[in-house]
A and B are shown apart, each in its own frame.
Chain A
Amino acid sequence: MTQRLKLSVMRHGPLLTTITIFLMAYIIGAQLYPAMQRPQAFFNLFINNGFLLIIGIGMTFVILTGGIDLSVGGVLALTTAASAALLKIGFSAAFVIPLMLVMGTAIGLGLGSIIHFFKVQPFIVTLMGLFFARGLAYIISLTSVTITDPFYKYLALTPIYMPFFEKAYIYIPTLVGPLLLLVAIYLAYFTRFGRIMYALGNNEQSAGLMGFPVGRTKIMVYGFNGFCSALAGIVFSISLLAGYGQFATGVELDVIAAVVMGGTLLTGGVGSVIGTLFGILIEGTIISILQYNGTLSSWWTRICVGALTLIFIGIQSGFARRKKEL
């Protein structure tokens, strides 16, 4: 029994570490800046980082298969620019939103197909996807386009008051990330697709010989990430009520860092979307602390995330070594 307990601690060690780091960071922040003790400060993490969580979920899937997707920021920006432009010339939100989701999914499926059928490194294919998508966004408009669509405005400005917490609120799009997280957990743990995704990341050749549809799964994972990027783009454009090719530059790297902090191995096969949630919350907490401080440069966020990621990789390999010894 103790052996089992040990094994289970070993297996979930990285995840527990991430959660602990998040709690510690948040508690320290709350001690330094009492404003962070308000429930609203916590909900703000979700309001401000919802789009990161959405991409993070898709990115976790991609990384679990042993791949990487650098195109996410481009697809996000393209989605904001394209939807702003379409809304401006009079298309309804009911048409634009599904269209954007289809577009994002199609880009993802396309990139995944190139990776699979032409056996090209995901890094280079999705880098190309990033250039392609961000370039297209600038072709649509060189300047930021404001969104005046009433439905978008309604979504952006209507707070939902949280039960149990007085005066704490979120917005409707804030719910998208957590809901997607539930869907992702179901996909990852309760479907054949999800389990094959894990198997694939461990050993693609073996997975193929076990009779799993390796290619289809891989392409679908990139398609799912494209969908997530477009969804994140929609959430992003709602919160800023604008579309612009320059939005969220470098977001792919922030997301990858969060996924790694969440305990997902870049080599594939190990990790979880729950970990990614906490990875993103850690990034969000650091940003909040710096904002409450007000005097430090916002670039400290990057430095902290860099240092934490590094520490985290150390902890992870420590766990891996201990596991081997058991």
Chain B
Amino acid sequence: MADSQSLITVRGISKAFPGVVALERVDFTLRKGEIHALMGENGAGKSTLIKILTGVEQPDTGSIELEHTLIRIRSPQHAQQLGISTVYQEINLCTNISVAENIMLGHEPRRFGGIHWKKLNEMARQALLRLGIELDVTQPLGMYSIAIQQMVAITRALEIASAKVLILDEPTSSLDANETARLFAVMRALKQAGIGIVFVTHFLDQVYEIVDRVTILRNGSFVGSYDIADLPRVELVAKMLGRVVGELQALAQDKARGERQPDERRLIEAAGLGLSGMLEPLDLAINVGEVLGIAGLLGSGRSELASLLFGLTSPDSGTLLIDGQSVTRFSPQESIKRGVALCPEDRKAEGIVGDLSIRENIILGLQGRYGWFKFINRQKQDEIAEKYIKLLGIRTPSPDQLVKNLSGGNQQKVILARWLVTQPRLLILDEPTRGIDVGAKAEIQKLVLELVKDGMSIVFISSELEEVVRISDRIVVLRDRAKVADYDHAVSDRTLIQTMAGEA
């Protein structure tokens, strides 16, 4: 494993938490000037390894070498001093102070004892320019998009800590295609400069686009490190999951074979439904027992459509019929009464109550329907919770586990359960599989198909086309806040991409 190009060499790292072995004898080598993907299912040990590299956790056994010197990383600050910087998915910068301050503060140039603003702004501007980004650094950071904020975070890591190692923890999960391309350009520039990048992501496409090598972890143990060129996709997935590949394929076949006879009864009928500034007027029909896929890039109006259908916002044009009845008052309460449910995109902020248990989160949904003053006895609560934990395959030691302690995929299932107890007739899923591992994705897709079999209608919004194509009966494509096409399920990924990009 040892080679002269290695920046970080991790040997035989193990880490156990009470009750679980998070990492077992893991080896990992990061070379100078390479982009190295760290992959694995949720719970594979990626985050534990990263926490060890950033000094948040201490390993139980094993050694870490930085440029061939044995080191012990004591704290995140210490990691930064050593030249190991991390940029997290949730950006750890302050949005109220200027871009320049976010980059330079801590190393700010001074004049007469005070901050030399002119020089500070110029230094920050230069630092960004080196990454090919030009912007007004005197504006507050909050003025800029998440993508720009991420680049600013990277710039800070490079400027302040003069990072040799940059860890990017799922940086792309909230970026759209253009923003991702921009980030990749920056990553390539850094790679040229000899910086080693550890890149954590769930997107296979991105791995094959930018990564040089990949290290795969499974259930806390080391599976292997590979040159990406020598590792076909299927094998990568197989190594990550082993068991699930077959399931994924079975699912695809299931869909092809199933050929459910779609119900002709209309559940939802929208005519000219729109809201100026958010969504151009569009027509939409959803039948009973049908999966309607919504494809579109970030900002194409997909979440806006979801909030209109759920009544979070009121349209200013058109009509919406649910079951042939016109909706006049748009509010979530009204929608829930009519049997419409929405699982929002941002589950942490909008969906779950992390400090409550699984049981309490699921019961919350029922309470919404029964009214706040009806008491549901504990035995009934337990029954319901058990039923849905089993039905959705939520992996937890007990229904009383706090939701915040679950993995992303399991949290998503809890939200689903919360809506399923209310037995909705239309379930709107906005990015239900974002940020969860491939295995959990397959389970959620399977669940969606089972639900429609029982006569539920589902609106499935996802930025992963494969997924949309696989499970939808019909697919509506949105672009620039307008509906541009309506396909049946036989459409190919390629046609969809062309439509979304506006080529067709």
A269 CB within 8 Å of chain B: yes
Q: How far is the CA of A200 from the CA of B186 in the complex (A)?
A: 29
| Docked-complex contact A270 and B96, CB < 8 angstroms | yes
A37-55 vs B, CB cutoff 8 Å, 1 = contact: the mask equals 0000000000000000000
Contact between chains at B77 and A206 (CB < 8 Å): no
Knowing A4-B136, A191-B114, A211-B77, the reply to whether A199 touches B156 (Cβ < 8 A) is: no
A186 at interface by CB-CB < 8 Å: yes
In the complex, B232 has a CB within 8 A of chain A: no
Q: Which A-chain residue is minimally distant from B106 (CB atoms)?
A: A211
Determine if B92 and A209 form an interchain contact, defined as CB atoms under 8 angstroms apart.
yes
Chain A 195-206 against B: per-residue CB contact (8 Å), 1 yes, 0 no? 110111111011
Chain B residue with minimal CB distance to A324? B142
- B93 on the interface (CB 8 Å rule)? yes
| 8 closest cross-chain pairs (CB), A and B | A190-B114, A199-B94, A202-B96, A269-B96, A202-B94, A209-B92, A206-B92, A190-B115
B272 at interface by CB-CB < 8 Å: no
- Expressed in whole angstroms, the Cα–Cα distance for A212 and B77 within the complex equals 10
How far in angstroms is the closest Cβ of chain A from B418? 28
**Distance to closest chain A CB from B479 (angstroms):** 22
A207 touching B94 by the CB < 8 A rule? yes
Do A192 and B108 touch across chains, with their CB atoms under 8 A apart? yes
Is B97 an interface residue, CB under 8 A from the partner? Answer: yes
A116 contacts B by Cβ under 8 Å: no
Asked whether B143 is an interface residue with its Cβ less than 8 Å from the other chain, the reply is yes
A7 near B105 with CB under 8 A, answer: no
Bound together, the chains give a CA A269 to CA B98 distance in angstroms of 12
Residue of B nearest to A201 (CB): B96
The 0/1 profile, CB within 8 Å of B marked 1, for residues 177-217 of chain A is 00000000010011110011011111101110111100000
Q: Are A198 and B96 in contact (CB under 8 A)?
A: yes
Size of A's binding interface in residues, CB under 8 A:
26
Instruction: State whether B105 touches A195 (Cβ < 8 A).
Output: yes
Kindly state whether residue B423 has any CB partner on chain A within 8 Å: no
For residues 295 through 331 of chain B, which have their beta carbon under 8 Å from a beta carbon of chain A? none
CB distance from A140 to the nearest CB of B (A): 40
Complex CA gap A196/B108 in Å reads: 12
Distance, CA A202 to CA B101, complexed state (A): 13
How near does chain A come to B265, taking the closest CB pair, in angstroms?
41
Tell me whether A209 and B96 are in contact (CB under 8 A): no
Bound-state Cα–Cα, A12 to B28, Å:
51
**In the complex the two chains form, what is the Cα distance from A196 to B102 in whole Å?**
10
Task: Given the known inter-chain contacts A7-B139, A192-B105, A202-B95, please indicate yes or no for A211 contacting B114, CB distance below 8 A.
Answer: no
Number of A-B contacts (CB under 8 A): 64
Q: Which of A186, A207, A209, A270 contacts B114 (CB 8 A)?
A: A186
* Shortest distance from the beta carbon of A63 to any chain B beta carbon, whole Å: 13
**B455 part of interface (Cβ distance < 8 Å):** no
CA of A247 to CA of B93, assembled, Å: 43
* CB-contacts of A1-25 with B (<8 A): 4, 7, 11
Check if B140 is an interface residue, CB within 8 A of chain A.
yes
Q: Which residues of A contact B139 (CB under 8 A)?
A: 7
Given the contacts A198-B94, A206-B93, A207-B94, A212 and B106 also touching, CB distance less than 8 Å = yes
B101 contacts which chain A residues (CB < 8 A)?
195, 199
Residues of B near A198 (CB, < 8 A) are 94, 96-97
Interface string of B76-111 (1 = CB under 8 A from A): 110010000000000111111100011001101000
In the bound complex, how far is the Cα of B77 from the Cα of A186, in angstroms?
Answer: 29
Q: How far is the CA of A159 from the CA of B156 in the complex (A)?
A: 53
Give complex CA distance A7, B108 in Å: 25
CB interface residues, B 94-140, toward A, < 8 Å: 94-97, 101-102, 105-106, 108, 114-115, 117, 136, 139-140
Q: Digitize B148-161: 1 where CB-to-A-CB distance is under 8 Å, 0 elsewhere.
A: 00000000100010
**Can you list 12 A-B pairs, Cβ within 8 angstroms, ordered by A?**
A192-B108, A196-B105, A199-B94, A199-B96, A199-B101, A206-B92, A207-B94, A210-B93, A210-B94, A211-B160, A212-B105, A326-B143
Minimum distance in angstroms from A187 CB to a CB of chain B: 9
Q: Give complex CA distance A201, B97 in Å.
A: 10
Specify the chain A residue showing the minimal Cβ separation from B143.
A7
In contact, B76 and A203 (Cβ under 8 angstroms):
no
Let me know if B106 and A210 touch, CB within 8 A.
yes
Residues of A within 8 A of B114 (CB): 186, 190-191
Contact A199 B115 (CB under 8 A): no
Q: Is the CB of A209 within 8 A of B105?
A: no
Give the distance in Å from the alpha carbon of A199 to the alpha carbon of B108 in the complex. Answer: 14
Nearest CB in chain A: distance from B432 CB, A = 27
Q: Is the CB of B115 within 8 A of A191?
A: yes
Q: Closest approach, in angstroms, between the C-beta of A169 and any C-beta of chain B?
A: 33
B97 pairs with A195, CB closer than 8 A: yes
A209 B76 Cβ-Cβ under 8 A: yes
Q: Give residues 267-296 of B contacting A (CB, 8 Å).
A: none
Q: A209-B76, A210-B92, A211-B77 are in contact. List 5 more A-B contacts (CB 8 A).
A: A192-B108, A195-B105, A199-B94, A199-B96, A203-B93
Measured between C-beta atoms, what is the minimum distance from A223 to chain B in Å?
Answer: 20
Residue of B nearest to A271 (CB): B96
Please indicate the chain A residues that have their CB under 8 angstroms from the CB of B76 in the complex.
Answer: 209
Query: Please, which residue of chain B has its CB at the minimum distance from the CB of A196?
Result: B105
Docked Cα-Cα span, A205 to B143, in Å, equals: 20
CB-defined contacts of B156 to chain A, threshold 8 Å: 210
Please tell me if the beta carbons of B80 and A199 are within 8 angstroms of each other in the complex.
Answer: no
Whether A203 contacts B95 by the Cβ 8 Å rule is yes
User: Chain A 107-149, CB within 8 Å of chain B: the 1/0 string?
Assistant: 0000000000000000000000000000000000000000000
Docked complex: A260-313 residues within 8 A CB-CB of B: 269-270
Kindly identify, within residues 209 to 229 of chain A, every residue whose CB is under 8 Å from any CB belonging to chain B: 209-212
Nearest CB in chain A to that of B139: its residue? A7
Question: Do residues A210 and B96 form an inter-chain contact, with CB atoms below 8 A?
Answer: no
In Å, the complex CA distance between A7 and B98 comes to 13
| Complex Cα spacing A207 to B96, Å | 11
Which residues on the B side are within 8 Å of A206 (C-beta)? 91-94
Most buried by A among B77, B96, B136: B96
Q: Contacts of B93 on A, CB cut-off 8 Å?
A: 203, 206, 210
| CA–CA, A196 and B105, complex, Å | 8
Select from chain B the residue with minimum beta-carbon distance to A204. Answer: B94
Give A143 to B95 CA distance when docked, in angstroms.
Answer: 50
- Name the residue of chain A whose CB is nearest to the CB of B136: A4
Q: For A201, what are the chain B residues with a Cβ–Cβ distance below 8 Å?
A: 96
**Cβ-defined partner of B97 (8 Å) among A4, A11, A199, A326:** A199
B348 to chain A, nearest CB (A): 14
User: Bound state CA distance, A203 and B139, in angstroms?
Assistant: 18
Contact A203 B94 (CB under 8 A): yes
**Alpha-carbon distance between A209 and B77 when the two chains are bound, in angstroms:** 8
Residues of B within 8 A of A207 (CB): 94
Find the residue from B76, B94, B160 having the highest chain A CB count within 10 A: B94
Q: Which residues on A sit within 8 Å (CB–CB) of B92?
A: 203, 205-206, 209-210
Kindly state the separation between the CA atoms of A210 and B114 in the bound complex, as whole angstroms. 21
Return chain A residues, CB-CB under 8 Å to B95. 202-203
Closest to A194 in B: B115
Which residues of chain A are near B105, meaning CB under 8 Å? 192, 195-196, 199, 210, 212
- Alpha-carbon distance A198/B139, docked complex (angstroms): 15
- Most chain A CB within a 10 A radius of its CB, from B76, B80, B140: B140
Question: What A residues does B102 contact at CB under 8 A?
Answer: 210
Instruction: State in angstroms the CA–CA spacing of A109 and B127 once bound together.
Output: 38
Closest chain A residue, CB of each to CB of B140: A11
A205 to B88, CA, bound (A): 13
Q: Which A residues lie within 8 Å of B96 (CB)?
A: 198-199, 201-202, 269-270
| Distance in Å: Cβ of A43 to nearest Cβ of chain B | 30
